[in-house]
Structure formats: C-alpha cells, structure tokens
Structure 1
C-alpha cells in the first residue's frame, strides 16, 4: 500500500521535530519537556482553585475550569521558557559538542512521534475512522494502537494514584 498525504504529514512532523531538536540540543529539549510536564501538572492541580476566582467573569462552570487551566498552563510555559533560555545559554557557554545536538535530534524524533500518538488518539474520538483518508493510511493503525495502549497505561496510573489516598479531586503524584 502506498503512503497517503496523512502518512507523509506524519513523517514530516516527526522529521521537523527532529531537525528542530538537532539545532537546539538535548539539554534545551529536555528542559523544555520538563517545563511542559510541570505546566500540565500545575494546570491539573490548581486549575480548579483558579476557576473559583473566575466566577464573576465566566458564567459557565466548564468554561471557567478550561480557562483557568489554560491560563495556568500558558503562564507556567512562559516562566519555564525564560528559565530554559537562561539555562540553555549557560550550557552553550560551556561549549558542549555535537553529542548534545545528536541526542537532541533523537529526543526530537521521539517527541514528534509522541505528538502524532496524542493527535491520533484525540482524532480517534471524533468520527474520522470511517473517512477514506483515515482508512487508506499506512501509518495511522500503528499509531492508533500505541495511542490506545498509552491511554490504558495513563488511566491505570491515575486510577492507582487516586486510590492511593490522594486528596479528593486531585491526583496524588507518587514523587
């Protein structure tokens, strides 16, 4: 079966992610990933608390929570980007070699594949699986299988940590 435009788009996304990481290096990419994880955790843990303060401005409760999580996520990303830039400049001043860039490329390829897995997982929630472009794709079934497996692992993790005595409405991160 020949690759479709969807398959080439997947390959392009992974390749672009790898090339960006090749130029930035592993240290900056690892710090960037850490910032994204922290931003997600901050939004998850404190979005509900901030939503209460948005009640006078946003009437719909679900919209309040979404707005609060988005605000916290973006603000954390902005602070993290500043710190990543400063630490990246410090690392660059030390004169790390091409190994940092090569490891960065591998990291970027993995990140690109992860983005595809997340995108495919989210798209699978919509009624797109009957569309011709979805059915004719060579790569989508593999990424969908990984997305389903990942969903089960993540949901199992959160189920275990919620049952482990965490605070009501919050996930008890085992760190």
Structure 2
C-alpha cells in the first residue's frame, strides 16, 4: 500500500467517524442550511443593503453587511431547526438510525472527497507513478471521472 492509499483510507475513516458522531440529520440539514444561506443571501442582499447605506460610508460595505445579515440569520434559523429535529430524534429513540445513516453519508462524502483528490492529481499529472502503484485508486477513479 502506498502513501496515497493511506491518505484515501484516512479521508474515508475521518468522514465516516465524523458523520457517525454528528448523525445524518445534522450532516445533511447542515449542508442544506449552508447552501440555503448562501442562496438567500445572494438573492436578497441588495434589499438589506439599503438599511445600512446611511450607517456606513461605502456602498460596498453596505452590500457586505446586507449579505452577512441574511447569511447569518438563515444559518441561525437553520441550526435552531436542526437542534429541534435532533431533540425529537433523541426523544423518539431513533438516534441509532440517525448515526448509521450518518456513517453511510460519511462514507459517500469521503469517497467523493477522495475522488476529487485523485481528479486533481490526474488533471495536473502529479505523482502518476504513485497512482499506478496504488491499490485503492481503481475504486476511486470512476467517481473522479463523473
């Protein structure tokens, strides 16, 4: 096994363990919350920037504050919802299922991250000899071609 194989294993194990600890709900809804916060802030920041134009000196700073307020407010709202749902899951004694699904999600995420790492290595023709000698690269390469 090469150093690259050990790196891919470390990525997979770390992703699986972290997702198992957090659970599927926190992982997936956290990702959705961040994406929603970015989208909402990108769509509506100009309207909120008008509230800050009298307070700050430049329009760019007002735009930044408008984006930040929407982004942070969406994050807080999303994390409150996640907290409530995880409390319900714990109350319903479904935490084991949440963790198992979280571990499965972590495996998929780790595989995708490993595929992206290999995509970067193959795109820039870095360490091609290590890629050829690796035992795990054939399992990750189909994902990097997607």
Structure 2 equivalent of residue 100 of structure 1:
98
Deviations 1:86-114 (A, max 9, x none): 11011111111633312111223434566
Structure 2 equivalent of residue 57 of structure 1:
56
> What is the aligned counterpart of 2:66 among 65, 68, 71?
68
> What is the aligned counterpart of 1:19 among 17, 22, 30?
17
Q: Which has the larger radius of gyration?
A: 2
> Secondary structure of 2:93's match?
coil
Structure 1 equivalent of residue 40 of structure 2:
42
> Secondary structure of 1:57's match?
coil
How far the C-alpha of 1:12 sits from its partner, in A, is: 4.2
**TM-score, length-scaled by structure 2:** 0.62
Cα distance in 2 for partners of 1:75, 1:118 equals: 31
Deviations 1:41-85 (A, max 9, x none): 211221222223333415152x54344323322221122112211
Number of aligned positions between the proteins: 134
Give 1 or 2: higher helix fraction: 2
Q: Is the Cα–Cα contact under 8 Å of residues 89 and 95 in structure 2 kept in the other structure?
A: no
| Bigger relative contact order (CA 8 A; separation at least 6) | 2
Structure 1 equivalent of residue 126 of structure 2:
135
